[in-house]
Structure 1
Amino acid sequence: MAGVNFPFKNILPLLTLSIGLAQRVDENRAESMTVLYCNFADFPLDVISASLEHVLRSSDAILTYENHYFFILQYTDKYGATIVKDMFEEFFASYIESCMVSYPIDGDDAYGLLEELQANISKTFSTDLLFLDKDRLSAH
C-alpha cells in the first residue's frame, strides 16, 4: 500500500477531478471524498515516507508543501479519514496536527473545500496557510 505523490501545484485540478468522479458515481452526494491535512513538521522524512507506505491506499493522493501534507482520500468520509489520521498517530506514537474537509458537505468545488480547510486550520491551530489562498493557487 502507498498513496500516489503529486506536485502541490496540481492540488486544484486534482481536487476538481476527484469531485467530478464523486459526482459521477455518487448520485446521493454523500461524503464521497475527504481531504485530510496533516502537519508532519516534527518527524524525519524517512519516517514520514515509511508511514505513507504503511497507512495509505494506492488510490490516495499525496500533495506536500514543505512539512504540510494533504491527502485526497477517495470514497472516504470524515469517519474514514479519522481512522487514517489515527493510524498516522499510532505509527508516530505522537499527536499530529490535522484537519479535514469532505465533499460536498464542506464545499461544492475545489476552492470551497480549500477555503474551508484553511479556515479550520486557522481556527484550530492559529496558523494561516497562506499558500492555500485562492489567488495564490490560481497563479500556478
Structure 2
Amino acid sequence: MAGIHFSFDNFEQLIDLNIGIADRLDENRAERFTILYCDFGGLNLEVVEKSLAKTLRNSDSVVNYVNDYFFVLPYTDQFGAQSVRGLFEAFFNVELPSVMASYPSDGENPQELLAEIQHSASRVLSNDLVCLNELTQRG
C-alpha cells in the first residue's frame, strides 16, 4: 500500500516530525508539506483503501478517525494537494468534502495547522471536526 497509515493518536507527533524534517531539509520557507482532509463518509471503506494504494506516494502519511481522513503530503503545496484530491474524486466519481492547510503558511506548529484545518472545515464544510478538539486544545 502506498502511503503509510498512522494511528490518530499519533497525528500530532506525525505533523511535528514532518515539521522537523522540512526545517532540516529546506531553508527557503516554501510550503513544505500540506495536510489534506477528506470526508470519505458514505463510501465503502474497502474501496477507500484501494484508492489510497493507487493514489498516494510511499512518502505520504495517512491518519483517519472513522470516515475523516487526513493526509500529510511532504513537499506538496496546496495546488499539489488539490491534484491528490482530484485523483480521489476521479476514483470515486464524486466531489469529496475537503480542506487543507500547508506548513508554514497556515501554521508553524501542529496545533496551529490542526486548528486551521478545523476552522476551514467548520467554515467551508459546516463540519466541526470534533475529532480534532483534543489535539488542538493541547497546545
Q: Following the alignment from structure 2 to structure 1, what is the Cα–Cα distance between the partners of residues 52 and 18?
A: 20
Deviation at 1:34, TM superposition (A): 0.3
RMSD: 1.1
In 1, the alpha carbon distance for the partners of 2:131 and 2:51 equals 25
* 1:14-93 matched pairs, under 5 angstroms: 14-93=14-93
State the match for 1:107 in structure 2.
107
Amino acid at match of 1:34: T
Aligned-pair CA distance for 1:120: 0.2
Give the Å deviation of 1:13: 0.5
Q: What secondary structure does 1:71 align onto?
A: strand
Distance (whole Å) between structure 2 residues aligned to residue 48 and residue 130 of structure 1: 22
- Please report the TM-score for the alignment, with normalisation by the length of structure 2: 0.95
Q: CA deviation at 1:127?
A: 1.2
Over residues 36-94 of structure 1, what are the superposed CA-to-partner deviations in whole Å (9 max), with x where a residue is unaligned? 00000021011101100110001000000010000000111101101000000000011
Find the residue that maps to 1:43 and give its secondary structure.
coil
TM norm structure 1: 0.95
Structure 2: 5+ residue stretches without partners: none
Large movers: runs of 4+ above 3 Å: none
